[in-house]
Structure 1
């Protein structure tokens, strides 16, 4: 994702670019570094896995410099520097702080006992995760449930599909009902969209997608379960009743939710200038609180809980390094999108309007969704939010179908690729760390194109036509 999603969604309303990148003047060639890092993520683990494993951070840094240095030479060090500071201070750092807090707190909760990964149990966990995602965020729900789900299936021969459907349901679509679920919706909340507007307008779409995916998963998992026959010896011993260790982290998780919500509700005129980027007091308080929550979780969680949970910083480090590159190389791409019909991507923006000048919800759904599959879905949401007029009251009433299409496209289609949403890559990294052979970048997209895209087409004809 890319996930400036979470970051931009967490920005305070007063945060703005100090110096705008001239998106209308840019050539589409400025998007090459961003395309390069995406292709590196897609191809290098498949073609050169050992090299990628040891040097993915350097590759991300190289693509970042491939954008920053030429940009500084053409448009001047001042604009390049202000863009870099804004990307780091206003977007990347808040994103990583929130992600680290959720990763740490969820990693400090150990679901004790040996669950046995039957099709019924696996489906139930996915359903629970779908509900939790809208209240504790897709990242929080993913980090809480992915480890026990993998452990429950550690004696299964076929289990990659379990993690794939987990990404579909828990890491993405389940977070579509409240602003706490996924950052694009939180960004809309900051813009004036009512807290419960989304649940009242795309609940049916969400219920349809999750219901069909759960049914498909149960059928597929049952087929694999029967095909496997006698399962391998379970490497996880039965240790009694299922329960929780590290329960204090539930309170810390609640603190994370409160801090994020508070940063959107609290209006303060106090702001600080950081090299041209204005940082509001609510955002600073939120980030300081999240850092404190992270430290408290590490301090108060018994070492045995982390050991039992096989907690490690590897997945977090991978996401942090790769998304640092994504956040920087995406700067010109977002600027070109924000330029609207005057920019290199003007055809995309123009395509969402009907000949009579009225917005086309179906086109908004697909344009927002496809871009959110590979770009940061928070600024993508904001681009089409503004393209549709940007007036909250009008969008919630007269143009409600258009806002629903934008919201659904941004959240639902984050599941189309590993980089569509930050939890996707974290789930993939945790699964691989525990011996699950996850599909490659394009292998995963074969699953999403084969399963999700037909469902999105049906959704379009029912709700967004």
Structure 2
């Protein structure tokens, strides 16, 4: 498989090229975050700026060369780190990010993307306000089970078909992005990439389910209720408009590709296994320890993805518009993100002794305790314009980076970071990867989607008030 070969090659090339001496090093290496300046954060900021602006400002250049652009920023981190701190230290920092976080991250996304792509919701139903609300609710629930990307890809085309004869239908896709591509994925590490990164850092699998459920029900309930009222008003206005011939007449809805459902259950089981089975076996790869349970989990998930390719019918994938481009883009971009964020994490770990002390102070109360509301809004607003996964990592480290403390005495802080990253990824088209994928699919299906800033008017009018109420109530 082209994508898996790309990921594997990238990992082992980094291992061999960057740190041939790392395995021989006797002492423990680490980036000296307290002495590093903000210049080390420049490649990370540059990469995220390119990701945010590239698809909008220079679409054709970005589409053809995003891998090269990402590699440029990664090299701009690796070479200076090797020169300043030595090949062993730089190599270990890069390998730590790639082997312990990126590899598991991209394998999970690859599997969810592949397996969900083999599930087809065939047929069509008429998109009344009640039906649309039900579809959004189903998609939101699925988002925490098969991921926001998986749920979005499974549900967006049935949602569009149900409303393709309505004069007013762009709002349906906008709310779909709000709920299915973002808010609905807040309850498990499978739901949204930031939460899986937290799981890889040591956050318990069901921690988010318990601690984010009230907030998710509150925000999701408000948004779903607003949609139902708005869709009812628009649906009534359409009754007096000239009838539009339905390009996809109603027919019985059937779920195809059911062989993929137990494969999704297997992915969940593999992740739960890695969280509960701790054999205490670790393999050292060029100075970086990889635990056995994580290797087994990733291997099982990969096998399940390839089984899906073998058992899924090609016509189902074709009907879903399945292609490898989106996951290949994610694989390349996030490899660079995980490399570029390494010095940023080191600086953040230095706390008030590091170059990002003002940021630390901004989210800290005068008594030294974390300011949960500040964490919620700063994580969220940055997640609106940057990708929410690396933004989550930044504030996770800013809050101390210790999962045991964050899950217990600082549980409200971790909940604020998690909710901010997941919820506010919906504020723009670029806050979360599925957002732009859904937007592109809707445009290709002939829906007159709002522009980048037009979409922000929708999110500003609907989401921001819900987030204000949520922050006052929970943080």
- Structure 1 length as normaliser, TM-score? 0.83
- C-alpha deviations, 1:433-459, integer Å up to 9, x for none? 655566666665554444323322221
Partner of 2:248: 236
1:59-109: CA deviations, max 9, x gaps? 222222233333333333333322332332222222221111111111101
Residue in 2 that maps onto 1:317:
328
Q: Is the 8 A contact 1:271 1:280 kept in 2?
A: yes
Residues 54, 209 of structure 1: CA spacing in aligned structure 2 closer, same or farther, 3 A cutoff?
same
Equivalent position SS for 1:273: strand
Unaligned stretches of 5+ residues in structure 2:
1-27
Match of 1:256 in 2: 267
Q: Which of residues 24, 30, 37 is equivalent to 1:27? A: 37
Match of 2:309 in 1: 298
In structure 2, what is the equivalent of residue 332 of structure 1? 343
Is the counterpart of residue 149 in structure 1 residue 159 in structure 2? yes
Q: How does 1:150-229 map to 2 (within 5 A)?
A: 150-156=160-166, 159-182=169-192, 185=195, 197-222=207-232, 225=235, 229=241
Match of residue 40, structure 1, among 38, 42, 50: 50
Does the CA contact (< 8 Å) of 2:202 and 2:403 recur in 1? no
Question: 2:139 maps to what in 1?
Answer: 129
Give the Cα–Cα distance (whole angstroms) in 2 for the partners of residues 66 and 443 of structure 1.
35
CA distance in 2, matches of 1:430, 1:316: 15
Q: Is the CA contact 2:203–2:404 (under 8 Å) kept in the aligned structure 1?
A: no
Q: 2:126 is paired with a residue of what secondary structure?
A: coil
Task: Number of aligned residue pairs: give it.
Answer: 443
RMSD, aligned α-carbons: 3.1
Give the whole-Å Cα distance in 2 for the aligned partners of 1:358 and 1:303: 55
Offset at residue 189 of structure 1 (A): 6.1
In structure 2, distance between residues paired with 1:447 and 1:400: 31
- Asked which structure has the greater RCO (Cα within 8 Å, sep 6+), the reply is 1
- What is the match of residue 113 of structure 2? 103
- Structure 1 stretch 155-164 or stretch 329-338: which is displaced more? 155-164
- 1:103 to 1:403, Cα distance in 2 relative to 1, 3 A: closer
Question: 1:105·1:252 contact (CA, 8 Å) conserved in 2?
Answer: yes
TM-score (norm 2): 0.82
Over 3 Å counting, the alpha-carbon distance change for 1:327 and 1:227 in structure 2 is farther
Aligned residue in 1 for 2:396: 382
Call closer, same or farther: CA 1:20–1:459 in 2, change over 3 Å. Answer: same
Larger mean CA deviation between 250-259 and 153-162 belongs to: 153-162
Do the aligned residues in 2 keep the contact of 1:178 with 1:195 (CA within 8 Å)? yes
Which deviations, in whole Å up to 9, do the C-alpha atoms of 1:285-321 show, x marking residues without a partner? 1111111111111110112211222222222223223
**SS of residue matched to 1:287:** helix
Question: Which deviates further from its counterpart, 177-186 or 28-37?
Answer: 177-186
Aligned residue in 2 for 1:87: 97
Aligned counterparts of 1:442 and 1:70: Cα–Cα separation in 2? 38
Closer, same or farther: CA 89–276 of 1 in aligned 2, 3 Å = same
The aligned counterpart of 2:59 is 49
Structure 1: 5+ residue runs without aligned partners?
1-17
**Partner secondary structure for residue 241 of structure 1:** strand
The answer to whether the Cα contact below 8 Å between 1:106 and 1:144 also exists between their aligned partners in 2 is yes
Q: Summarize deviations over 1:210-229 as a string: whole Å, max 9, x none.
A: 01111222344445556664
1:338-360 Cα shifts (integer Å, max 9, x gaps): 22222222222223332233333
